[in-house]
């Protein structure tokens, strides 16, 4: 048999690509039109071990049958098919063709007996018409010799629309399926495993829910809750302390975290066994020197000094603008400013405290503030996730890139749905320079009217991960 040359075909009725066999000629439009139709019906098992669900068969003893052995049947995407062909002499080849007539599968001449060929475990790449050439070989074409074709379908291989996976209070490991997986890890540090590399997937966060879906295959959309790690081929994305780290970046700098800075901060919070909420971390600030040193890294960073060069009242106003998108009321402005002036709060802990206060406020305005903070954290997380690709890993760098992220967060409101807002997130990510240095969308990255500043140096973080650097 000649070497198999494959190319990828993208069927117009589906987004899934599948290989075609280029060394075999395609069927003509006339051949497609003349194909006989076979209808699969419920299979009646002949033994307890039969796994097929449907079958169709045809038998003929007509002369010249080998000249008229093309049939069509309706396949179901991801169903598995076993096809048997019988003729007096060994059939030439069983060949399957897609709806456009391109060859997509051929038997390997693994005979189950002379005069009988079979093509097994064919998984339909789409739902629709598939053509099968039985390859009958009767010898002399005008001899009355029987020939038959049998098609068996196993529908159990079709992924369920939704696959529900529930964890325990321990460390659970879930493996993604071709279904849309609905996962709740419950307690413990749980991991969701994906076979592809990180760049093959998009991650979208909204509150406590993560949506993960493949960009290269039709595997459904996974919804994850209480899952702390995502394992991809060659890379693990750790989600622990991600919300808190993003919240600090949003409140201090009005932007999403860079990938290196986020991972470094998450790692240090993990080493300190830090709590997950801003209120609890703020409480630890005064009693845990290591936590104090880490949080002070934000307040003492060059970026913070560049952004907040004014007095404490200006600082409080800036935090309100970054975090809550509004001016503080006079009472709030006086309270926080006086606390910083008196030394009861440092600037670093003031940001945490303002955030914690907004999240705990049960007033109408407080509830709106809490929703806004949650939405900004989700959008900031999605922006950072969007950077985890080969061509964008170093793109979030410089004043213009920071401006893109800040402008994105300014568009977020208390009513923003992070899932539907993802289009805006990816537009912002794609406007950043690629690894080759060119802007994907020239002019979309305005420069900040601020002096250049070095990277945020997080005290106590022993990490060589790349952090955000101003150009």
**Tens-digit pLDDT profile for residues 74-83:** 999 989 999 9
- 466 located within any domain: no
What is the residue-averaged pLDDT of the chain? 84
Does the residue 455 lie in any domain? no
Phi-psi region of 345 (alpha: psi -120 to 50; beta: other; left: phi over 0): beta
| Cα gap 156→178, rounded to integer Å | 13
Whole-angstrom distance, CA of residue 406 vs CA of residue 395: 15
Measured CA angle at 186 (ends 185, 191), to 5 deg = 30
pLDDT above 90 covers a percentage of the chain that reads 55
Q: Look at the block and give the residue holding tokens 């509150």.
A: 207
Statement: residue 443 has pLDDT above 80:
no
In terms of domains, do 45 and 137 share one? yes
Residues whose CB is less than 8 angstroms from the CB of residue 94 and which lie 6 or more positions away in sequence, other chains included: 83, 85, 106, 107, 117, 118, 119, 132, 133, 134, 135
Which alpha helices (DSSP H) does 215-329 contain, by range?
Answer: 242-253, 259-271, 278-285, 289-299, 302-307, 312-324
Residues 310 and 272 reside in one and the same domain: yes
Given 181, 204, 238, the domain boundary residue is 238
Considering the domain architecture, whether residues 232 and 254 belong to the same structural domain is answered as: no
Question: Same structural domain for residues 342 and 412?
Answer: yes
Position 441 confidence tier, pLDDT thresholds 50, 70, 90: very low
Q: What percent of the chain has pLDDT over 70?
A: 86
- Return the pLDDT at 104: 96
Q: What is the value of pTM for the model shown?
A: 0.65
Residue 153 shares a structural domain with residue 171: no
Q: How far apart are the first and last CA of the chain?
A: 59
Same domain, 279 and 411: yes
* Residue 26 included in any domain: yes
469 within a domain of the structure (yes/no): no
pLDDT 10s digits, 156-198? 888 778 889 999 999 999 999 888 999 999 999 999 999 999 9
- Residues 214 and 323 both lie in one domain: no
* pLDDT-derived band at 348, boundaries 50, 70, 90: confident
Assess whether pLDDT exceeds 50 at residue 208.
yes
Query: pLDDT grade, residue 384 (50/70/90)?
Result: very high
Domain presence at residue 456: no
In the predicted model, is pLDDT for residue 378 greater than 90? Answer: yes
How do residues 388-400 score in pLDDT, each as one tens digit? 876 777 788 888 8
* Residue 437, domain member (yes or no): no
Domain containing 208: what range? 162-238
Which of 190, 213, 238 delimits the end of a domain? Answer: 238
Domain boundary among 119, 138, 157: 157
pLDDT of residue 110: 60
Q: Which of 277-281, 345-349, 422-426 has the highest mean pLDDT?
A: 422-426
Distances in Å between the Cα of 300 and the Cα atoms of 2, 206, 349, 352 are: 69, 31, 12, 15
Return d(Cα 145, Cα 167) in angstroms, integer: 60
Query: pLDDT band at 142, cuts 50/70/90?
Result: low
CA distance 112 to 121: 15
Domain membership flag for residue 471: no
| Residues 220 and 303 grouped into a single domain | no
**Does residue 125 surpass a pLDDT of 80?**
yes
Do 23 and 144 have their domain in common?
Answer: yes
144 and 181 both lie in a single domain: no
What confidence score (pLDDT) does residue 421 get?
96
Handedness of CA 451, 267, 241, 333 (dihedral sign): negative
274 and 387 part of one domain: yes
> Is position 33 within any domain?
yes
CB-CB contact of 117 with 84 (8 Å):
yes
Residue (of 447, 448, 382, 452) closest to 411 by Cα position: 382
Q: Which two tokens stand for residue 142?
A: 């005008």
In this structure, what CATH number is given to the domain that contains residue 124?
2.60.120
Burial 162-177 (b: 16+ CB within 10 A, else e): ebebebeeeebebebe
Q: Domain tally for the chain?
A: 3
Rounded CA-CA distance 182/36 in Å is: 42
Are residues 311 and 231 located together in one domain of the fold? Answer: no
- Does residue 338 register a pLDDT over 60? yes
- State pLDDT tens for residues 289-321: 999 998 888 877 888 878 887 899 999 998 999
């Amino acid at each position: 048999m000649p070497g198999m040359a494959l190319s990828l075909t993208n069927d117009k009725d589906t987004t899934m690509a599948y290989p075609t066999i280029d060394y075999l000629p395609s069927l003509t439009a006339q051949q497609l039109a003349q194909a006989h139709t076979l209808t699969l019906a419920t299979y009646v098992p002949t033994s307890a071990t039969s796994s097929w669900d449907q079958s169709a068969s045809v038998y003929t003893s007509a002369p010249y049958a080998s000249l008229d052995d093309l049939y069509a049947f309706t396949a179901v995407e991801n169903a598995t098919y076993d096809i048997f062909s019988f003729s007096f002499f060994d059939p030439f080849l069983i060949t399957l063709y897609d709806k456009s007539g391109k060859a997509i599968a051929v038997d390997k001449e693994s005979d189950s007996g002379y005069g009988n060929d079979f093509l097994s475990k064919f998984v339909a790449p789409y739902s629709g018409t598939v053509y099968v050439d039985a390859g009958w070989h009767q010898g002399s074409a005008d001899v009355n010799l029987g020939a038959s074709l049998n098609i068996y379908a196993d529908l159990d291989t079709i992924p369920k629309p939704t696959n529900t996976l529930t964890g325990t209070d321990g460390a659970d490991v879930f493996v993604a399926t071709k279904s849309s997986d609905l996962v709740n890890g419950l307690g413990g540090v749980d991991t969701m495993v994906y076979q592809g590399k990180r760049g093959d997937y998009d991650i979208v966060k909204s509150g406590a829910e993560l949506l993960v879906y493949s960009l290269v295959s039709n595997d459904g959309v996974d919804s994850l809750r209480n899952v702390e790690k995502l394992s991809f081929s060659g890379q693990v994305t750790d989600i622990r302390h991600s919300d808190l780290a993003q919240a600090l970046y949003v409140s201090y700098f009005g932007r999403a975290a860079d990938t290196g800075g986020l991972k470094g901060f998450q790692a240090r919070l993990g080493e300190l066994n830090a709590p997950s909420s801003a209120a609890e971390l703020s409480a630890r600030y005064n009693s845990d020197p290591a936590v104090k040193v880490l949080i002070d890294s934000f307040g003492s960073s060059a970026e913070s000094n560049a952004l907040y060069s004014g007095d404490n009242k200006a600082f409080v106003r800036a935090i309100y603008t970054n975090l809550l998108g509004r001016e503080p009321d006079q009472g709030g402005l006086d309270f926080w400013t006086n606390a910083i002036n008196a030394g009861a709060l440092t600037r670093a802990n003031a940001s945490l405290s303002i955030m914690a206060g907004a999240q705990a406020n049960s007033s109408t305005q407080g509830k709106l503030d809490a929703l806004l903070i949650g939405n900004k954290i989700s959008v900031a997380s999605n922006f950072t996730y969007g950077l985890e690709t080969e061509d964008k890993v170093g793109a979030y760098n410089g004043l213009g890139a920071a401006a893109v992220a800040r402008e994105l967060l300014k568009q977020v409101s208390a009513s923003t749905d992070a899932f539907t807002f993802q289009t805006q997130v990816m537009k912002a990510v794609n406007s950043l320079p690629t690894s080759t240095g060119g802007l994907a969308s020239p002019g979309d990255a305005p420069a900040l009217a601020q002096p250049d500043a070095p990277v945020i140096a997080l005290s106590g973080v022993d990490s060589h991960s790349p952090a955000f650097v101003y150009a």
